[in-house]
Amino acid sequence: MFKFFTDKPKWYLNAVFYEIFLRSFKDGNGDGIGDLTGLTEKLDYLKELGVDCLWLCPIYPSPLKDNGYDISDFYSIDPVYGTLQEFKDLVKEVQKRGMRLIMDLVVNHTSDEHPWFQEARSNPDSPYRDYYVWSDTDEPYRDARIIFLDTESSNWAYDEEAGKYYWHRFYSSQPDLNYANPAVRSEMLNIIRHWLDLGIDGFRVDAVPYLFEEDGTNCENLPQTHEYLKQIREFVDRNYNDKVLICEANQPPADVVDYLGNGDEFHMAFHFPLMPKIFMGLRTGTRLPIEEAIKNTPAIPEETQWGTFLRNHDELTLEMVTPEEREWMWQEYAPEPRMRLNLGIRRRLAPLFDNNREMIMLANRLLFSLPGTPFLYYGDEIGMGDDVDLPDRNGVRTPMQWEAAEGAGFSTDPQPHTPVITRAPFSPESVNVEQQMQQAGSLWKQMQELIAIRKNEKVFQSNETEFVEHADERVMVFRRSKDKDEMLFVHNLSSDSIQFQVELPVFNDQKFVDLFSKDELRTNGDTLECTLSPFQSLYLKAG
């Protein structure tokens, strides 16, 4: 096969992604539910923040048992979010601003209210029967773990109508699609074509490790699954240009890296193991957990990239840490049982750090300086809070706080689909977009600056990162370079003020500018000396 390579680096290798839970972003028609026209109104806001690519959580028709990840029609948009025309307008407006848009593609399962499942369960002769995985007993695939531990006791659920069990890796209201059936495999390609033809830039592909089942295995990351995912990639490459496929596989690095194949499977994969280590690093005040996670990250093929993140629409999952680390994380970050969910913590970024600005910024500055392409979660750019009294993960999916007014300017409906945060210090009065965009030194302004720096500096075009060895475990120092550009990153992980000194043989009598404070620093011979305030980051540009 012929393939053209241009010098232009692939856009996703160094971009800033922004995840939007549409239902809670901006209500354009006053019915209390965020929608497409609301989002379109806010595109200038996102442009000003500086993000490159928007990721839309599922907006397909859904009974909402799993907040839209339970889909009852893959080919249309739930009318509460708007019309197809409004979607096309959104795509056009996103493109006009030089931004991009990706959507969630839920490959593993449908809603049990999907017409396919309805027909499958009631008519054994229907071609849809074989769209799902059935069994007369709940015996097969015993070695597959249960993911939604708090709610499910088996991966099999009995269906009275069919008189059989059906297979589901998530909620029992989400029957798994049967990928052993070629009709399912080609149906998913049709779905992909349907949305890419509407001009979107790709997909965040949901829950990919579980597509195929096989007895005697844990039914995750099977070769058949990889083979099919490669077919998806081949289909996308053959028919489209410049699209991105991002893999959600909450798995150890060695298994995740397989989803990048030889550059012939996904373009990107989320880096799940790094995320909790950033939280561990900040709480212990040492660089070791983060450095370990980076050092344990395998090399990846050219033109592929990690997606890194601090928070998203799910719980902060602790599946990728040891049981001891998990216990410790729960004690430190989720002292109350209602803050926990499955193997994770259902809280947002700002409350996790007790609303400590220095810690919030350090976490972001770490994320933006380490290898990978960073993903932000809506609302975290202003330090929104969470509501742990809401069920499931709804507490981290509350209405975006645009203004100080009651209701936060999210909707004209006084009773939005889920309540606005009202508790101090996270109520709209103290946390909102309007104020922070005007206020020098606000979290929003700092995030805007960080995004701009990230996009400006050439060193981020490559993933190469070289840690500088030194004795003080509280401080992380690493170097990144691209062509003639050199940067040195110094992060104080601790709450101490530190008189810091480090030897840098490669930077003899070198002048640096810190891109945040604009302060100049110089190595004396090969020694850099600086004062670090608690949780301070320096982005030092050589020159």
CA–CA distance, 117 with 450 (Å, rounded to integer): 47
Neighbours of 435 (CB within 10 A): 17
Q: What angle do CA 231, 140, 226 make, to 5 degrees?
A: 15
Complex with Ca ion: residue 29 or 461, whichever CB lies closer: 29
Nearest to 99 by CA among 34, 45, 36: 45
Window 65 to 84, contacts with ligand GLC (CB under 6 A): 66, 69
Complex with Ca ion: residue 26 or 129, whichever CB lies closer: 26
How near is the Cβ of 152 to ligand GLC at its closest, in Å? 12
**33 lines the binding site for Ca ion (CB under 5 A):** yes
* Residues 269, 306 contacting (CB under 8 angstroms): yes
From 107, 196, 207, 447, residue interacting with ligand GLC (rule: CB under 6 A):
207
How near is the Cβ of 386 to Ca ion at its closest, in Å? 22
How near is the Cβ of 230 to ligand GLC at its closest, in Å? 21
Complex with Ca ion: residue 80 or 329, whichever CB lies closer: 80
Residue 140, amino acid: P
Complex with ligand GLC: residue 67 or 217, whichever CB lies closer: 67
Nearest to 325 by CA among 349, 293, 295: 293
**39 lines the binding site for Ca ion (CB under 5 A):** no
Q: Which stretches of 211-322 are DSSP H helices? A: 223-239, 253-256, 274-284, 288-295
Complex with ligand GLC: residue 203 or 460, whichever CB lies closer: 203
**206 lines the binding site for ligand GLC (CB under 6 A):** yes
How near is the Cβ of 312 to Ca ion at its closest, in Å? 23
Residue 131, amino acid: Y
Q: State the binding partner of 314 from ligand GLC, Ca ion, none, CB within 5 to 8 A by kind.
A: ligand GLC
Count the helix, strand and coil residues of the chain and give each as a percent rounded to the nearest 5: 30, 20, 50
Count CA within 13 A, CB hemisphere, residue 427: 8
Token output for 129: 């029967």
Residues 94-113, mask of contacts with ligand GLC (x by CB under 6 A): ------------x-------
Q: State the binding partner of 27 from Ca ion, ligand GLC, none, CB within 5 to 8 A by kind.
A: Ca ion
Q: State the binding partner of 35 from Ca ion, ligand GLC, none, CB within 5 to 8 A by kind.
A: Ca ion
Q: State the binding partner of 90 from Ca ion, ligand GLC, none, CB within 5 to 8 A by kind.
A: none
From 27, 66, 392, 457, residue interacting with Ca ion (rule: CB under 5 A):
27
Complex with Ca ion: residue 29 or 181, whichever CB lies closer: 29
CA–CA distance, 346 with 318 (Å, rounded to integer): 11
Distances (CA, A) of 70 to 16, 64, 317, 454: 27, 6, 20, 35
**170 lines the binding site for ligand GLC (CB under 6 A):** yes
Active-site residues: which are they?
206, 248
* Residues 488, 514 contacting (CB under 8 angstroms): no
Q: State the binding partner of 343 from ligand GLC, Ca ion, none, CB within 5 to 8 A by kind.
A: none
Judged on CB neighbours under 10 Å (0-12, 13-18, 19+), 33 is buried
**52 lines the binding site for ligand GLC (CB under 6 A):** no
Q: State the binding partner of 340 from Ca ion, ligand GLC, none, CB within 5 to 8 A by kind.
A: none
**314 lines the binding site for ligand GLC (CB under 6 A):** yes
Q: State the binding partner of 31 from Ca ion, ligand GLC, none, CB within 5 to 8 A by kind.
A: Ca ion
Neighbours of 3 (CB within 10 A): 5
Nearest to 451 by CA among 16, 102, 45, 9: 16
Binding site for ligand GLC (CB under 6 A): 66, 69, 106, 170, 206-207, 248, 313-314
Q: Residues interacting with Ca ion, by CB under 5 A?
A: 27, 29, 31, 33, 35
